Amino acid sequence: MNYTVVLPAAGSGKRMKADKNKLLLELFGKPIFVYTLEVFQQDPSCEAIWLAVKEEERSMIEQNVKKYGLTKVQGYATGGAERQDSVRACLESIPPCDVVLVHDAARPFIEPLVISRLAAEAHAMGAAIAGVPVKDTIKKADNGIIMETVDRDQLWMIQTPQAFTYELITHAAQSAFEDGFLGTDEAMLVERLGQPVQIVESTYENVKMTTPDDLVYGKAILESRRQ
């Protein structure tokens, strides 16, 4: 199933504690966001890539897009204060299409097989998101005192990509904007409309580069893939 991908890249990466947007940090000499873009550049089902960027970082990002031959990048939108604003800016810019995938530019290790499953499920179901089963025991606590041990059989850690039909995600994003609703992922915008969302099992390697230790893990993943 063909799709257009929207990549929010307009954050500041505060938790990474670097002196710049974490996406511009390099792993073995290549910026993190370039690894993410390359996955989609190489996927024949990806028709177009749109990026949400900060105005002041746009030319640096454009230079890298050119340098690494990322010819599927078709446009840029100016990111907003919240991730949801950045995604909405992109959704307002892209031409209508069948399926839209939203993917954090900070998740460079997404598997192509998961992407194609998500696109197919979104086409069939309307909405499909990547997730992995929770590995640890989960407890709810109040001030550090356990209130409850939660049954983890039904718990998933949710990632991106999150895939939708164009009609559903544009409608859900507009509706959330009008209602002043802020979610922590795109699926929440669809869930609040009462629409079903399918989870597609992803991999634990699809980690978001968030804190400095993630860079160590990221390098290890790249090394293991080289062998």
Q: Which residues bind ligand CTP (CB under 6 A)?
A: 8-15, 23, 52, 79-83, 86, 104-106, 208, 210
Looking at the Cβ atoms of 11 and 131, the one nearer to Mg ion is: 11
Exposure class string for 111-140: b at 16+ Cβ within 10 A, else e:
eeebbbbbbbbbbebbbbbbbbeeeeeeee
E strand or H helix at 133: strand 127-133
Q: What are phi and psi of 138, to 5 degrees?
A: -110, 130
> CA quadruple 112, 117, 119, 122: dihedral positive or negative?
negative
The item of Mg ion, ligand CTP, none sharing an interface with residue 123, based on CB under 5 to 8 Å by kind, is none
Query: Which stretch in 9-17, 55-63, 147-155, 168-176 sits in contact with Mg ion by CB under 5 A?
Result: 9-17
Question: Cβ of residue 13: shortest distance to Mg ion, in angstroms?
Answer: 8
Question: Cβ of residue 225: shortest distance to Mg ion, in angstroms?
Answer: 26
The item of Mg ion, ligand CTP, none sharing an interface with residue 90, based on CB under 5 to 8 Å by kind, is none
The item of Mg ion, ligand CTP, none sharing an interface with residue 119, based on CB under 5 to 8 Å by kind, is none
The pair of structure tokens assigned to 31 is 């910026």
Exposure class string for 99-110: b at 16+ Cβ within 10 A, else e:
bbbbbbbbbbbb
Query: Which stretch in 6-14, 46-54, 72-80, 119-127 sits in contact with Mg ion by CB under 5 A?
Result: 6-14
The item of ligand CTP, Mg ion, none sharing an interface with residue 108, based on CB under 5 to 8 Å by kind, is none
Question: Cβ of residue 148: shortest distance to ligand CTP, in angstroms?
Answer: 28
The item of ligand CTP, Mg ion, none sharing an interface with residue 198, based on CB under 5 to 8 Å by kind, is none
Task: Say whether 156 sits in a helix, a strand or coil.
Answer: strand
Write the binding mask 11 to 50 for Mg ion: x where contact by CB under 5 A, - elsewhere: x---------------------------------------
Integer-rounded Cα Rg, in Å, for the chain is: 17
Residue type, 152: R
